Amino acid sequence: MLRVLGLGDNVVDQYMHIQTMYPGGNALNFAVYAGMMGHAASYMGNFGDDEAARHVYESITSMGIEVSRCRFYKGENGAAKVEIVEGDRVFLGSNKGGISNQHPLELTNMDKSYIADFDVVHTSIFSHIESQLPILGQTASFLSMDFSNYADKEYLRKTVPYLDCACVSCGEEMSEEEIQAQIGDIFSYGCRHIVIATRGARGAVVCVDGKLYRQSPCLVKAVDTMGAGDSFITCFLVSYLEGMKYAADFPESGGKLGITRAEEYKDLTVKGSLYRAAVYSARNCQKEGSFGCGRKF
């Protein structure tokens, strides 16, 4: 079991066509999905004091997500307006993170000690955390950040040197050559270990320490694609990191039957983790919202 921290954004996704709000946000989703998979999950971020904030907070605490380092401010929680068109979520607008945009997280020494105890920390481009990345890069055992499809090259140059894993959304239209070029750029900017490029219904391309992998999607008739990429990233990373705890080269005296080299085991761990992530993401598309918990507004 891993100790997992989602650090940064939380929102309500307001489904305008059914007047229902669902908890979400990239950093929050990472914590929730990891918790659903049986890991010790925590969330650290900002909440407003409106009904949207109350709904997100009550939903995740009822699921057992630990929230002891969260901050609370007077004002609007992050919120996005959404419609579902043939199972696919379409964003109509947002309040740009609400109070989280007005009060970016500033990490204290106590926060640093707290963060250091986790096996993986995940944040996002929507978390207004850029100024804290140097601290996180030194403090977190493994730091992941999701850039969605919003980051330009200059932003990536400034942020990825602190990361063990960078996640980007490439969409279905980007060519294989363009995806590989973007992955190469991210590693050249200083990303330490992994780049995950999700492609919607075309699956994912993942590079681990210079080795490229491709994963087909487990296509299903989606109820709601909200959280599809987040669930894929979460499942892959926690599966990979949990599996790599066992990586070791066997002594030469043991012979060479079966898997005896850590590098060979690592390759199988990556492939198995990608398979699990594709299945988990497909199953998540059978739920409404990122992880359910809808409430009328």
pLDDT of residue 87: 75
Domain extent listing, the chain: 3-296
pLDDT of residue 151: 83
pLDDT of 193 > 80? The answer is yes
Q: At residue 134, what are phi and psi to the nearest 5 degrees?
A: -60, -40
Task: Choose between 171 and 189: higher pLDDT.
Answer: 189
Least confident segment among 75-89, 153-167, 194-208 = 75-89
Least confident segment among 29-33, 65-69, 79-83 = 79-83
With CA atoms as reference, report the closest residue to 288 among 7, 8, 14, 57. 14
| Domain 3-296 homologous superfamily, CATH | Ribokinase (3.40.1190.20)
DSSP one-letter string for 82-145: EEEETTEEEEEEE-TTTHHHHS-----HHHHHHHTT-SEEEEEGGG--GGGHHHHHHH-SSEEE
pLDDT of 228 > 80? The answer is yes
pLDDT of residue 85: 85
Instruction: Kindly report, residue by residue over 241-295, the tens digit of the pLDDT.
Output: 999 999 999 999 989 899 999 999 999 999 999 999 999 999 999 999 999 999 9
pLDDT of 90 > 90? The answer is no
Helix/strand/coil (H/E/C) assignment for every residue in 219-274: CCCCCCCCCHHHHHHHHHHHHHHHHHHHCCCCCHHHCCCCCCCHHHHHHHHHHHHH
pLDDT of 109 > 80? The answer is yes
- Residues 15-40 have a mean pLDDT of 97
- Mean of the per-residue pLDDT values for the chain? 96
